[in-house]
Amino acid sequence: MKLITTIVRPDRLAEVKAALFRAGITGITLSRVSGHGGEHERHEQYRGTALVMEFHEKVKIDMVCSEPFVEPCVQAILSSARTGEVGDGKIFIQPIERVIRIRTGEVDNAALTAVNADAVQRAAINAAG
């Protein structure tokens, strides 16, 4: 099992989410974050005052996947988040030792399988086709 954390542009979120659903990844957690990487700082005016915007708004997506879903997840993110410009984001992959579903007590891979995973994946494929 792996924890896949990706940081992407907010305007790519809908495409990334749809690609993940098509790949069968249904359990995701989103956070609005800001950060600084290779992008240049922006200069903006606010009430007549010049501001330097060092940090850029991003979306952080966390998901835990069983081994067979890791590479499809990565490929889904790459194909949907890439614009070719600086600031497209990053993907981080880390090992996960144990997962427990609180509601049922299921552990590891059984705890990762969403109750409605098949229905979500079918709907995403039908919407794309």
- What's residue 83's pLDDT? 93
Task: Look up the pTM and report it.
Answer: 0.78
Mean pLDDT taken over the chain = 87
Q: Which domain holds residue 69?
A: 2-128
- How many domains are contained in the chain? 1
Average pLDDT over residues 39-52: 72
For residue 113, pLDDT over 90 is answered with: no
**More confident of the two residues 123 and 22:** 22
16-20: long-range pairs with CB below 8 Å, 24+: 16/61, 16/76, 16/77, 16/80, 16/81, 18/80, 18/124, 18/127, 18/128, 19/76, 19/77, 19/79, 19/80, 20/61, 20/63, 20/73, 20/76, 20/77
Q: What is the CATH number of the domain that holds 73?
A: 3.30.70.120
